[in-house]
């Protein structure tokens, strides 16, 4: 992967985004959703983004996931100016550096749990033996080792969410982006997912969680409320870094 820009992450950050803006075109007048969002993420950090429905949380996560191009601003992922990359290089970046957990889980319904986790690894060119090792490890991490051969459409809501978490883990991403990852779970299962994220973060992965739930947000190192298209000052909740705004 090559970038026309020099790398810039003197502090070793995974994410450095500056003054991101997003305006959706609309017949009756453009909708300005993000009005200058700056955010950073460091290895091992868990960051929560909160805000009312429609405040732009998913938009921000999609931009950070290179699924949506912002109208303005800059974004370095592990020191790479990823907005300057072409679509193909961005896709590679998504595959190799980012893991996604979306509320809808988007599992392949007629495939087994194993197959759901195996596809991204086949795509990434991982050998069959290593695929098996990684899949078993990821499923153990989310306590689903016994569901290996289950079809996705036979899983409970909580199990589906945990398969989605395991799928984000198998590629060993530097950053996990999670949109309401506990949205369909009860209290205990929601905290179990956060336990898994915590264990992954302890090994150096950076995690951004979009959530409505203050209890889930409180398990992150920093909490950013998103209001009026801007991230407000981070509220430190646990020992961790405090920066940006
Ligand atoms: P949240 O995740 O906080 O609920 P979203 O990022 O989904 O917010 O949406 C923020 C605003 O942007 C909403 O008003 C939504 O209607 C609008 N929006 C989102 N996606 C599009 C789109 N593709 N085209 C036009 N407007 C959009």
Distance of alpha carbon 73 from alpha carbon 33, whole angstroms: 13
Mean pLDDT is lowest, of 13-27, 88-102, 229-243, for: 229-243
State which ligand 1 atom lies nearest to the alpha carbon of 26: 25
Q: Which residue has the higher pLDDT, 167 or 10?
A: 167
> From the CA of 181, how far away is ligand 1's center (Å)?
18
**pTM of structure:** 0.88
pLDDT of amino acid 1: 43
Determine whether 29 is exposed, middle or buried from the number of CB atoms within 10 Å of its CB (0-12, 13-18, 19+).
Answer: exposed
Confidence at residue 245, expressed as pLDDT on a 0 to 100 scale? 44
pLDDT digit string, tens, across residues 80-134: 999 999 999 999 999 889 999 987 768 888 999 999 999 889 988 899 999 999 9
* pLDDT given for residue 190 in this prediction: 86
Residue 122 contacts residue 105 (beta carbons within 8 Å): no
Rounded distance between C-alpha atoms, residue 225 and residue 145, angstroms:
36
Q: Give 128 or 190, the one with higher predicted confidence.
A: 128
The chain-wide mean pLDDT, for the chain, equals 88
Q: Residue 159: helix, strand or coil by DSSP? A: helix
Local confidence band at 161 (pLDDT 50, 70, 90 cut-offs): confident
- What pLDDT was estimated at residue 55? 93
* Residue 211 CB less than 6 A away from ligand 1: no
């Amino acid at each position: 992967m090559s970038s026309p820009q020099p790398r810039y992450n003197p502090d070793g950050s995974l994410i450095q985004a500056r003054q991101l803006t997003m305006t959706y075109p609309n017949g009756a007048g453009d909708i300005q959703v993000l009005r200058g969002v700056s955010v950073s993420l460091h290895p091992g950090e868990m960051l929560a983004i909160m805000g009312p429905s429609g405040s732009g949380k998913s938009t921000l996560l999609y931009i950070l996931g290179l699924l949506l191009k912002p109208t303005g601003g800059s974004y370095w992922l592990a020191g790479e100016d990823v907005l300057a990359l072409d679509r193909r290089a961005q896709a590679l970046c998504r595959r190799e550096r980012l893991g996604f957990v979306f509320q809808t889980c988007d599992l392949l319904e007629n495939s087994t749990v194993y197959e759901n986790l195996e596809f991204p690894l086949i795509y990434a060119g991982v050998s069959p033996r290593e695929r098996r090792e990684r899949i078993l490890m990821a499923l153990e991490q989310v306590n689903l080792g016994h569901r290996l051969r289950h079809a996705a459409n036979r899983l409970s809501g909580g199990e589906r969410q945990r398969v989605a978490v395991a799928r984000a883990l198998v590629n060993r991403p530097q950053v996990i982006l999670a949109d309401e990852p506990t949205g369909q779970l009860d209290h205990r299962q929601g905290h179990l997912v956060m336990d898994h994220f915590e264990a992954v973060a302890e090994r150096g992965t950076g995690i951004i969680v979009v959530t409505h739930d203050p209890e889930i947000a409180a398990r992150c190192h920093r909490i950013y409320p998103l209001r009026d298209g801007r991230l407000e000052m981070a509220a430190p909740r646990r020992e961790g870094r405090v920066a940006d705004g």
